Structure 1
Amino acid sequence: MSEKYLIVDGYNIINSWPELSVLKKEDYSHARDKLVEILSDYQGFVRVNVILVFDGHNVKGNSGSRENMGGVEVVFTREGETADMFIERLIGELVPQYSVLVATSDWAEQRIVFGRGAYRISARELRILIQQTKKMGHDFMNSRQSFSLDSQIADETRLILEKWRREK
């Protein structure tokens, strides 16, 4: 896909964005699903590899999981491994070859990320970036003229086609 990666600290974003924070009060899975949906739409616009990481370290016997959901790689870390630990390890694998941006509002994690050669963006900045990208996409689609075959063919061809249509 792309030479760029966006790694997202899932629970950090859920706890930082008001619309997701409200959803998590009902059910964390709804908030996770909504975040996946938002990131899937975003990566469709900007063509970046998105990896969404959730902590699974407190779940006994959890072996972790990785799944592609709508173009977003969703990772639940294994027992004993925090999202921060996973992200730091992943940066070490990706940074030599790829441009990596990590979304988290955890100040300590931001410093580590930056120190390992990746870029960082806060939850608030990511939200603004996604909103701006979505608006640009909508503006682009609304500005395009609708395509109609009728406007693309010569008058003579249009008359011939109309004559054929009426003969049937």
Structure 2
Amino acid sequence: MGIVRVLVDGYSLLHFWPELAQGKPRHSFYARDALVSVLTQYQDASGMPVTVIFDGGGAPPGTPKNESAKSGIEVLFSKKGQTADQVIERVAHLMKPYGEVMAVTNDYAERETVISLGGTACSCESFIQMIDDHVGGMHGSLAELNKRERKGYRRPR
């Protein structure tokens, strides 16, 4: 079976990717929003559903525990006293009958746990490279398509 969902440890990826929301705290709305925006582009380019999980202790008061962003990315916050790792493990276990999940985290023990549950895992560094490859490839393909289309609409002057 193939990968059916990508599970991202949100704060783990944000801490590894400081360029994403430069000058903003890693636990801020702006940093989370920037991450969701990039993950939306990745989901659109790869066709793979993405769920990003943040530790609930970092969620501002009044933030829903489970929300679907406008972009179609599923955004989850763990409950108080629970970690994003625990949510990732639970989802990996629940999704096992449907196929593999891929966990994105820099926590080695968490990656090994997901692998033992039948999923796959990758480091934040590897995932950032995958995002660059997919999204960059999509932008290149669109630019080439637009260039070809423009040629078809040229009129003699």
Instruction: Verify same fold: TM over 0.5.
Output: yes
**Are positions 1:146 and 2:143 aligned together?**
no
- Alignment check: 8 A CA contact 2:6 2:51 kept: yes
What are the equivalent positions in structure 2 for 1:18-167 lying under 5 Å apart?
Answer: 18-20=18-20, 22-25=22-25, 28-57=28-57, 65-69=65-69, 70-144=71-145, 145-146=148-149
**Are positions 1:14 and 2:14 aligned together?**
yes
Aligned identity (percent) is 30
- SS of 1:25's partner is coil
Could you tell me how far apart the structure 2 residues matched to 1:128 and 1:118 are?
A: 20
> Where does structure 2 lack aligned partners over 5 or more consecutive residues?
none
* Equivalent residues, number: 149
- Alignment check: 8 A CA contact 2:9 2:85 kept: yes
- Alignment check: 8 A CA contact 2:11 2:27 kept: no
Amino acid at match of 1:14: L
Could you tell me how far apart the structure 1 residues matched to 2:48 and 2:95 are?
A: 14
TM-score by length of 1: 0.79
Q: Which runs of 4+ in 1 moved over 3 A?
A: 20-24, 61-64, 147-151
Amino acid at match of 2:36: V
> Where does structure 1 lack aligned partners over 5 or more consecutive residues?
152-168
Shift of 1:46: 1.1
- The structure that has the greater radius of gyration is 1
- Alignment check: 8 A CA contact 1:20 1:35 kept: yes
- Alignment check: 8 A CA contact 2:4 2:98 kept: no
Shift of 1:119: 0.4
Q: 1:122 to 1:87 in 2, by over 3 A?
A: same
